[in-house]
Amino acid sequence: MPSVTSSVENSVTDASRRDFLKGSIAGALVIGISLSTGTRHALASAQSAAFTPNAFLRISEDNVITVISGTVEMGQGVLTAIPMLVAEELDADWSRIRFEQAPTAAVYNNPAFGMQATGGSTTVRAFWAPMRKAGATARHMLVAAAAQQWQVPVSSLTTANGFVVASDGRKASYGSLVALAAQQPVPTDPALKDPKDFKILGKALKRLDTPAKTNGSAKFGLDAPKLPGMVVAVMARAPLPGAKPRSVDSAKALAVKGVVQVLTIPNGIAVLATGYWAAKTGRDQLVIDWDMGEHAGLSSEKISELLEAKAQMAQTAGVVALETGDIANASGKNLEATYQAPYLAHATMEPLNCTAWLKPDSLELWTGTQGQGPLQNILSSITKVAPENIKINVFLLGGGFGRRIAPDFAIDATVLSMVSGKPVKLIFSREDDMAAGFYRPASVTRLSASLDAQGRPVKLNVGVGTPSIAVASGFIPLPPSGLDGQAMEGIADHPYDIPNQRIAYGRAEPGPQVWFWRSVGHSQNIFFMESFMDELAHAAGQDPYHYRHGLLGHQPRYKAVLEAAAEKAGWGKPLPKGVFRGIAVGQSFGSYVAEVAEVSVDAEGQPKVHRVVAAVDCGMTVNPEIIRRQIEGAIVYGLSAALYGRISYKDGRVEQGNFNDYPVLRMNAMPKVEVHILPSTEAPGGIGEPGLPPLAPALANAIYAATGKRVRQLPIDPNLLKKA
Amino acid sequence: MIRFNLNGQSVSIDADPDMPLLWALREDLELTGTKFGCGAALCGACTVHLDGKAIRSCSTPLSLVEGKHVTTIEAVSAERVGAAVQAAWVAHDVPQCGYCQSGQIMSAVALLAQKPKPTDADIDSAMSGNICRCGTYNQIRAAIKDAATTLSGGAR
Ligand code: FES
Ligand code: FES
């Protein structure tokens, strides 16, 4: 997703001043703020939003405060973080806070994107100011109501824990004031607290969604209600973009008991049945001859060749992302390396699914999506149903990691409902989820450096060969230069003092559909850069921690997390026999993370990670426990990728299909994880993604320390690490 | 017609005996707490108890369930071990996205019912069939140990 700039918050604050809405509905004080990015388009939607019943919080007479979240819950904790932001400024009683997932409406647009979408680790960054303002506004009006009721000056009143308190000790609960509060004028600019007065923000409060997630009552997209006449669809999806069925023999599928219909739609062939089992059994009986078009015979070898050629080209003729000094004038001891990272599937725990019901003038969806805003427009253009008549019921997401911002599964469910005339619940089999996925791009990157007599790098020349997610997504136009910022993030913005550099992009498009994957370009590029830095340190004969530290002169936040991770991990102190450390650091989505991995490698070359110590500077915090869990979760996700993750191609087909051939980390390989959060008064950074990028290089650098063998290709191949 | 006892009540359903229990639970009996993750006994999201043992319902045909007792996440708190495990899960705020957690809890309850004081190795072997893509393994381990302490009469 596009990166968020600090100007987002300012424009949000201005817009919210203009677009404040209020109203009293059924004994509840409803406070809402229209958010916009300040562009003409966004202003228009903000105005139309005034006609929709929209709100961010609702206070009812029984003192229950319901906070409504425009971004969706996929594990990252927004259904707790958003209420915390509101509750802080409202001086609410936390035990009376409830959450609600917002409907689809422009009023809930994510200020970072100007549309209703969740991604790019933006929720806290983008909603930090507007949600606090929503709470402060409500508090202001409740105080004004109490002042009117008691005929005392506003200045004599305070608030605490869900009550307005008078100087003489009288108290009124917020619930008792709702009717009067709704009649008060709306403040244009209610004061926000000084962060040092925060009582809720920065506290490790329990997640609000935990109880439902431990008793089976939490509802995910797959748990959408049974609709009258509904059929379940399982598809055989096109193996690669552009592939078309030359012929389909559906006779055997139709013979399966429960199968109702077989339909060919643009993205594949669907078997519609009375339930999943019949649909899946029917799908497995389809005989399809695919015309693979230009991708016939695609293989991982061909992909690597293409990417490598582009990386090589980029070192001399690519699109320049960063240039300093003159690499032609620098010389010294030369090092060169070629690194490679594979395509990766998201493999969310909940397979993709969507239930769609198209009626003559309306469309209703039940699904877990990261992008309900764009989806409404896309589906409107397909079905010709007006966007306001498209209702999207957003459920909890059983993992997102970027995959669920894609519209494909919702489009297919809608098209199937359109063609069949029935409500359709489309469920991806795990195999289709895996093998017809939207993947983290593969990348080949070549790095060359020269070291001076002291071992300091005086030259760095990098060529990155990788596809463009921006182009594949259709969300983000490339500039005329053709530079894809996300293809270069994590490497073109590396923090080290190097006088002469040229870092350039060579776009390669081998064919597979590429997509945003947890931490996006940082996921490969920080692996390349931080591994290569380790190579430079060793070539210079220096300790990898001290070497990095000496090159971070202008980067206090990088330096601080690097120091903290090294100190907490006991860098330089003895370890049990056979265990070695590696270190890496990175910044992404506005947060700085350094990680130290403690690793041993057995005689078969199998690495085992014993402990990972992370230090994080993510600015001011909302909920430190959720932050620690997100960092730990990103470490696990990164570890799965580094140790096992690979989508490979043979004869135009993906070779993986389920968790047997696309393994992920399990309990028996789980390391201890320690996460240390550095105190900070900086603006909040993102937290869902930044823990991931430093993991792979910290692990690979520890493997080098253990074996003397440099991992330049992911996933790690134990065969290359075996003792000779 | 296949008859079995589900969460203490007898149920009968008219379905293909080859159909996995998972889909009977989710689609016919509309108990959606049990999740679909892989359909191939590889992820543990669909774990339920069959006569007290943890099984993968996605790969257990209905024919094998005839006449037996099935317990799902919806009823697991009705007995002591289940209640303790669920309470420990809440105390440790284990879930992130939450999708794997029904299966994790069912596996943990079966483990503790068999081994009231599991070692780390016991936890590894009982829980490694349950994938969590959000990476909550350390919190799961801590919650299991905590529940074990509660069940043995110790304070949490
Ligand atoms: S769904 Fe049954 S083990 Fe994965
Ligand atoms: S909590 Fe998300 S998969 Fe386990």
Q: What is the pLDDT of residues A391-401, one digit of tens each?
A: 999 999 999 99
**Cα dist. A405→A1, A409, A516, A617 in Å?**
10, 10, 9, 27
The reported pLDDT for the residue numbered B154 is: 65
CA atoms within 13 A on the CB side of B155: 0
Instruction: Summarize the confidence of residues A83-100 as an average pLDDT.
Output: 95
- Give the class (CATH, top level) of B76-151: mainly alpha
Q: What percent of chain B stands above pLDDT 90?
A: 97
pLDDT per residue as tens digits for the range A380-420: 999 999 999 999 999 999 999 999 999 999 999 999 999 99
Three-state DSSP at A28 gives strand
Q: What is the pLDDT of residue A4?
A: 27
C-beta of B2 in contact with ligand 1 (< 6 A): no
CA of B99 to the centre of ligand 2 (A): 5
What are residue A19's phi and psi, to 5 degrees?
-105, 20
- Tell me what the pLDDT averaged over chain A comes to: 90
Ligand 1 atom nearest to B36, measured from its CA: 1
- Nearest ligand to the CA of B41 is 1
Q: Which ligand is nearest to the CA of B22?
A: 1
Of the candidates A210, A226, A665, the beta carbon closest to that of B30 is on: A226
Is A95 touching B (CB cutoff 8 A)?
Answer: no
Residues of chain B in contact with residue A222, where contact means CB-CB under 8 angstroms, are 32, 35-36
Q: What mean pLDDT do residues A479-502 have?
A: 97
Question: Does the beta-carbon distance from B37 to A351 stay under 8 Å?
Answer: yes
Question: Cα-Cα-Cα-Cα dihedral of A266, A272, A276, A277, to 10°?
Answer: -110
Secondary structure (3-state) at A292: coil
pLDDT for the residue A182: 87
**Stronger pLDDT, A503 or A241, i.e. the higher one:** A503
Contact A350, A398 (CB under 8 A): yes
Q: Which three-class secondary structure state does DSSP give residue A459?
A: strand
Classified by CATH at the fold level, domain B2-71 comes out as: Ubiquitin-like (UB roll) (3.10.20)
Ligand 2: residues whose CB is within 6 Å?
A 75, 349, 399; B 95-101, 132-134, 136
Share of chain A above pLDDT 70, in %: 92
User: Do A221-293+352-427 and A300-343+439-720 fold alike per CATH?
Assistant: yes
Chain A residues with CB under 8 Å of B136 CB are: 629, 633
Rounded Cα distance, B145 and B156, in Å? 10
| A221-293+352-427 CATH pick, 3.40.50.300, 3.30.365.10, 3.40.50.1240, 1.10.150.120 | 3.30.365.10
What gap in Å lies between CA A533 and CA A512, rounded to an integer? 31
Residue bearing the CA closest to ligand 2, atom 4: B132
Q: Which two tokens stand for residue A481?
A: 């230069």
Beta strand spans in A329-419 (E)? 333-341, 353-359, 362-367, 390-394
Q: Quick one: A56 exposed, middle or buried, by C-beta within 10 A (0-12, 13-18, 19+)? A: buried
User: Which ligand lies nearest to the CA atom of residue A220 in the structure?
Assistant: 2
- At B50-74, the pLDDT tens digits run 999 999 999 999 999 999 999 999 9
The residue ranking higher by pLDDT, A18 or A517, is A517
Question: What's the rounded Cα separation, in Å, for the pair A660 and B32?
Answer: 25
CA atoms of A429 and A237, how far apart (whole Å): 10
A665 to chain B, any CB pair closer than 8 A? The answer is yes
Per residue in A602-629, pLDDT (tens digit) is 999 999 999 999 999 999 999 999 999 9
Quick one: tokens of A112? 């970072």
Identify the residue among B6, B60, B97 best suited for mutation to test binding to A, counting A beta carbons within 10 A and taking the highest.
B97
Q: Does A633 touch chain B (CB under 8 A)?
A: yes
Per-residue confidence band for A30, with pLDDT thresholds at 50, 70 and 90: very low
State the pLDDT confidence band at A55, using cuts at 50, 70 and 90.
low
Verify whether ligand 1 is closer than 6 Å to residue B106 (CB atom). Answer: no
Identify the pLDDT of residue B155: 52
Rounded to whole angstroms, the Cα distance separating A633 from A639 reads 10
- CA–CA dist A653, A431 (Å, integer): 12
B37 lines ligand 1 (CB under 6 A): yes
* Other beta carbons within 10 Å of A202: 17
The CB of B42 under 6 Å from ligand 1? The reply is yes
Q: How far is it, in rounded angstroms, from Cα A402 to Cα A342?
A: 17
- Chain B residues touching A212 at Cβ < 8 A: 98
Q: Average of pLDDT values for A506-527?
A: 97
Q: Do B40 and A660 touch (CB under 8 A)?
A: yes
Say yes or no for a CB contact (<8 Å) between A214 and B96.
no
Mutate to test the pocket of ligand 1, among B32, B46, B55 (most ligand atoms within 8 A of CB): B46
Task: Read off φ and ψ for residue A533, nearest 5 degrees.
Answer: -60, -35
- Which chain B residues contact residue A73 at CB under 8 A? 97
Query: Which sequence spans correspond to the domains of chain B?
Result: 2-71, 76-151
Q: What percent of chain A has pLDDT over 90?
A: 81
Secondary structure class of B141 (helix, strand, coil)? helix
Q: Which two tokens stand for residue A371?
A: 């992008």
CATH-assigned architecture of domain A37-215: 2-Layer Sandwich (3.30)
**Domain A300-343+439-720 CATH class label:** alpha beta
Out of B35, B77, B133, the one facing A347 most closely (by C-beta) is: B133
Separation of B41 CA from ligand 1 center, angstroms? 5
H-type alpha helices, A478-575: 485-488, 522-539, 544-550, 556-569
Q: What is the pLDDT of residue A20?
A: 29
Name the burial class of residue A484, with classes exposed (0-12), middle (13-18) and buried (19+) by CB atoms within 10 angstroms of its CB. Answer: buried
Cβ atoms of A610 and A575 closer than 8 Å? no
B-chain residue closest to A226, CA distance: B27
Mutate to test the pocket of ligand 1, among B43, B104, B130 (most ligand atoms within 8 A of CB): B43
Write down how long chain B is: 156
Which is nearest to A667 in space by CA: B35, B117, B92, B133? Answer: B133
- pLDDT number for residue A474: 85
- CB nearest to A349's CB, from B94, B99, B139: B99
Does the C-beta of B48 come closer than 6 Å to ligand 1?
Answer: no
- The pLDDT assigned to A18 comes to 27
**Of A398, A629, A633, which is closest to B99 when you measure between CB atoms?**
A398
Question: CB contact, 8 Å: A644 with chain B?
Answer: no
Q: Which of B58, B73, B133 should be mutated for ligand 1, with most atoms under 8 A from CB?
A: B58
| Chain A residue at shortest CA distance from B136 | A633
Q: Are A596 and A692 within 8 A, CB to CB?
A: no
Please name the residue that has the structure tokens 């920080």: A526
Domain boundaries, chain A: 37-215, 221-293+352-427, 300-343+439-720
Question: What is residue B41's DSSP assignment?
Answer: S
Q: Above 60 in pLDDT, residue A50? A: no
Min mean pLDDT across A53-62, A424-433, A450-459 is at: A53-62
- What pLDDT sits at residue A549? 98
- Condensed to tens digits (0 to 9), the pLDDT of residues A663-718 reads 999 999 999 999 999 999 999 999 999 999 999 999 999 999 999 999 999 999 99
- Tokens encoding A303: 């992909």
Say if strands A607-617 and A591-601 run parallel, antiparallel, or are unpaired. Answer: antiparallel
The rounded radius of gyration (Å) of the Cα atoms in chain B is 15
User: Cβ–Cβ of B102/A665 closer than 8 Å?
Assistant: no
Instruction: With cut-offs at 50, 70 and 90, classify the pLDDT of residue A39.
Output: very low
Q: Please compute the mean of the pLDDT values over residues A51-70 and round it to a whole number.
A: 75
- Yes or no, beta carbons of A634 and B135 under 8 Å apart: yes
Point out the residue among B16, B128, B132 whose CB comes nearest to the CB of A257.
B16
Q: Residues near A141 by Cβ (< 8 Å), separated by ≥ 6?
A: A22, A29, A31, A181, A182, A184, A186, A187
Q: Is the CB of B82 under 6 A from ligand 1?
A: no
CA-based nearest distance A36→chain B, Å: 29
Closest atom of ligand 2 to CA, residue B104: 4
Q: Which residues of B touch A77 (CB under 8 A)?
A: 96
DSSP, collapsed to helix, strand or coil, labels residue B121 as: helix
Q: pLDDT, tens digit, for every residue of A260-273? A: 999 999 999 999 99
Do the chains contact at A219 and B105, CB–CB below 8 Å?
Answer: no
Write the DSSP assignment of A586-632 as a string of letters.
EEETTEEEEEEEEEEE-TTS-EEEEEEEEEEE-SS-S-HHHHHHHHH
Residue A117 has pLDDT above 90, yes or no: no
For chain B, say whether A461 makes contact (Cβ under 8 Å). Answer: no
**A524 has a pLDDT exceeding 70:** yes
Contacts of residue A275 in chain B, CB cutoff 8 Å? 19, 23, 27-28
| pLDDT tens figures, A357-367 | 999 999 999 99
Q: Six-digit token pair at A708?
A: 């003397």
Return d(Cα A407, Cα A473) in angstroms, integer.
Answer: 10
**Is B32 close to A659, i.e. CB distance below 8 A?**
no
Instruction: Using an 8 Å CB-CB cutoff, list chain A residues near B104.
Output: none
B105·A349 Cβ contact <8 A: no
Binary contact (A220, B99; C-beta < 8 A): yes
- A625 closest CB neighbour out of B32, B93, B100: B93
Q: Which chain A positions have a beta carbon within 8 Å of B23's beta carbon?
A: 275-277
On whether the CB atoms of residues A185 and A148 are closer than 8 A, the answer is no
For residue B75, the chain A residue with the least C-alpha distance is: A215
| Distance (Å, whole) CA A457 – CA A493 | 16
Tokens 């202008």 correspond to what residue?
A554
Which chain A residues are within 8 Å of B89, Cβ to Cβ?
210, 214
Inter-chain residue contact A74 with B86, CB threshold 8 Å: no
Spatial separation of the C-alpha atoms in residues A534 and A526, rounded to whole Å: 12
A565 φ, ψ to 5°? Answer: -65, -45
